[in-house]
Amino acid sequence: MVDPSPPTLELKGLCKAFGGITATDNLSLTVAAGEVHALIGPNGAGKTTTMAQITGEIRPDAGHILLDGRDITTLPVHARAALGIGRSFQITTLFPDFSALDNVAMAVQAKAGTSFRFWRPARQESELRDPARDALARVGLGDRTEVPAGDLSHGEKRALELAMALAGRPRLLLLDEPMAGMGPEESPRMVDLLLALKGSVAMLLVEHDMDAVFTLADRLTVLVTGAVVASGEPDRVRADPDVRRAYLGEGDHAPC
Amino acid sequence: MADRARIAPLAFLALLLALPPLLEAADQAFYISLLTRVLVSGLAAASLDLILGYGGMVSFGHAAFLGVGGYVFGILMSHGFMGDALVLGGVEIPGTNEALILLPIATILAGLVALAIGAICLRTGGVHFIMITLAFAQMLYFLFVGMEDYGGDDGLSLWDRATLAGWDVSSDMATFYLSLTALVAFLVLARRLVDSRFGMVIRAARQNERRLAALGLPVQRYKLACFALAGMAAGLAGALTVNHAEFVSPAMVHWTRSGEILVMVILGGMGTLYGPVLGAVVYFLLEHLLSGWTEHWMAAFGPALILAVLFFRGGLWRLIVGKEMDTAGGEARGEAVHHG
Ligand SMILES: Nc1ncnc2c1ncn2[C@@H]1O[C@H](COP(=O)(O)OP(=O)(O)OP(=O)(O)O)[C@@H](O)[C@H]1O
Ligand SMILES: [Mg+2]
């Protein structure tokens, strides 16, 4: 069976080593349009390194990265983002002195063509502010728009990360542990948010919270020391004895 | 607070406009000339603030662009006076003493030099950036020292000040107002700039370059453009300095000069544009007071500066207008530079 339209993301034989450490070992996977593909594995398995190769922060030693069938392996970070890769970082990275609204407006501005505009006050441009307000409302920060990003709670910062990634209307969303460090009442809200987005944008999700993974993922890939141990539908992967031994351990929860 | 932020610059402008006639009436015309030095230093400092306070680029070589603007101005002026053309690579360039020609040329050439230097320096960051900007300024210093035709080490004296559209504006009073006009024009343009889309990118780059790239913005291009714009304004400041002093020498690009400008920005308040001008005023005031008191005024100034940095971290300007002066919704915390 040949699928006529290429997947949103395709990784082909990706390899990356840091000195003697193999971080990515002949990794191939696809994320179809609108699909949520979860990437799981123990600490140090190479999940963040994989993300960084997709965004362009790290160059693979070998292999190819295709976005909608187009080879983007050698493009710089900003060019890939401009092609529709949105990202939330494992460790929150925001513009801490800007308000929440400024943060998202910057994401909108980045998508709105050149920023070599020197005269009009950007904070008065409704074409930047309105979509930014919408994105903040979508992640539940509608009443926190004027708060400096650095003063938001941890959960709110994670939500702001997501709003920034969404504001660029990405084709592919890379989420590196969006629930990391969230309290028991914040995590389910983030899961609900992502669930609401499901189908509208392709997502590659790295997450240690197995409940969230099994709630959200259409497909699951298990990575151990950079190599794929198993890949497929969540329930089948969960049942895989190799996976149970290598990673999932007893029950459905990560051993970390 | 918001009102004070709007009124304070206008109040200072009104004061500056009124001062020269008052000083002359009080038989203190000497101060008009001193004030002009303050204004052009303020312009240099405000231009540094664009890259330092907004862009987070800690340049220790900003005087390089003052020097380029100053030397371009001085060299063309001297050829204009002598009536001999400047021959560069077989091309004859006539000198002139017309400010409307001299100032734009000095500004543009300083901008081009900043573009070239910035393209190299911006490949690095943090301490390396500080060091390499310093190194480039020192290179220019030795280049100017080596220009024997233009006075070498001793510098180049001019015979007069420039004309403006043929008018004689060589009096101390006219020179003051010419310099003030340039400063105000820069501040008006720069205020627009920092609030524009371009300005928001620059301010975001100070806070988090990595995030900016992940959003799809080619950060280096914007930083380089900002660096070149700041270089242009510094070139203008250099040209006006030379016009006022009727003299240009390599001392203008010495690293201590870059340090002085840096101090003015920090003293007045990074990321405020007006603050560095106030910083220049206070710097000259302290120099004046302390040098009358002791020869080693720098030794007294150093500790005073450290105290200032420790206790008014937002700078003097924020002390006057309040911390939230540039908070049209953001940057409420008015912090110091974040290293990327
Ligand atoms: N820049 C680097 N230089 C050297 N080694 C690195 C670098 N980045 C990652 N590594 C190594 O590569 C391996 C994979 O790291 P990576 O951060 O991708 O793991 P991860 O799956 O994201 O882990 P975690 O679940 O803890 O986030 C680790 O052994 C790590 O130490
Ligand atoms: Mg990781």
DSSP B76-112: HHHHHHHTPPEEETTEEE----BHHHHHHHHHHHHHH
- A1 & A72 share domain: yes
By C-alpha distance, the chain B residue nearest A96 is B207
ipTM: 0.88
Do A118 and B331 lie within an 8 Å CB cutoff? no
User: Going residue by residue through chain B (340 aa), what tens digit of pLDDT does each one get?
Assistant: 568 888 999 999 999 999 999 999 999 988 999 999 999 999 999 999 999 999 999 999 999 999 999 999 999 999 998 888 888 888 888 999 999 999 999 999 999 999 999 999 999 988 999 999 999 999 999 999 999 999 999 999 998 999 999 999 999 999 999 999 999 999 999 999 999 999 999 999 999 999 999 898 999 999 999 999 999 999 999 999 999 999 999 999 999 999 999 999 999 999 999 999 999 999 998 888 877 777 777 777 777 777 776 777 788 888 888 765 333 333 444 333 333 3
**CATH of residue A30:** 3.40.50.300
Is there a domain that residue B3 lies in?
no
Q: Could you give the CA distance from residue A154 to residue A180 in angstroms, rounded to a whole number?
A: 9
List, in sequence order, the alpha helices (H) in chain B: 2-25, 30-49, 63-82, 99-121, 126-145, 172-195, 197-207, 209-214, 219-245, 255-268, 274-293, 297-311, 316-321
Domain count within chain A: 2
Q: Is the CB of A18 under 6 A from ligand 1?
A: yes
Kindly provide the b/e burial profile for residues B92-131, where b requires at least 16 CB atoms within 10 angstroms of the residue's own CB: eeebbbbbeebbebbbebbbebbbebbeebbeeeeeebbe
Give the tens place of pLDDT for each residue, A192-233. 999 999 999 999 999 988 889 999 999 999 999 999 998 999
Among B199, B215, B330, whose Cβ lies nearest the Cβ of A107?
Answer: B215
Is there a domain that residue B45 lies in?
yes
B239 C-alpha to center of ligand 1: Å?
Answer: 53
Among A101, A106, A125, whose Cβ lies nearest the Cβ of B215?
Answer: A106
Is there a domain that residue A256 lies in?
no
Q: Could you give the CA distance from residue A158 to residue A103 in angstroms, rounded to a whole number?
A: 13
Structure tokens at A145: 């728009």
- A60 & A22 share domain: yes
The residue with greater pLDDT, B82 or A254, is B82
Do A99 and B215 lie within an 8 Å CB cutoff? no
Residues of B in contact with A118 (CB under 8 A): 192-193, 196, 198-199
**Can you give the residue range of the structural domain that contains A151?**
93-168
Residue of the CA atom closest to atom 2 of ligand 1? A18
- A105 & A223 share domain: no
**Can you give the residue range of the structural domain that contains B177?**
37-253
Among B195, B208, B213, whose Cβ lies nearest the Cβ of A121?
Answer: B195
Q: Which of A89, A100, A91 lies closest to A150 in space, CA to CA?
A: A100
The answer, yes or no, to whether residue A2 has pLDDT greater than 60, is: no
Q: Are A174 and A125 within 8 A, CB to CB?
A: no
Give the tens place of pLDDT for each residue, A132-146. 999 999 899 999 999
Q: Could you give the CA distance from residue A136 to residue A43 in angstroms, rounded to a whole number?
A: 31
State residue B330's pLDDT score.
Answer: 33
Residues of A in contact with B222 (CB under 8 A): 115-116
Give the tens place of pLDDT for each residue, B114-157. 999 999 999 998 899 999 999 999 999 999 999 999 999 999 99
State residue B321's pLDDT score.
Answer: 85
* B328: number of Cβ within 10 Å: 14
Do B196 and A168 lie within an 8 Å CB cutoff? no
> What length does chain B have?
340
List, in sequence order, the alpha helices (H) in chain A: 47-55, 77-83, 100-111, 126-138, 154-167, 187-197, 210-216, 234-239, 241-243
Q: How far is CA A51 from CA A47, A55, A66, B131, in A?
A: 6, 6, 13, 34
- A175 & A60 share domain: yes
Q: Is the CB of A175 under 6 A from ligand 1?
A: no
Is there a domain that residue B187 lies in?
yes
Q: Are A223 and A19 within 8 A, CB to CB?
A: no
The residue with greater pLDDT, A66 or A93, is A66
Is there a domain that residue A255 lies in?
no
Q: Are A71 and A251 within 8 A, CB to CB?
A: no
Q: Which of A45, A51, A53 lies closest to A222 in space, CA to CA?
A: A45
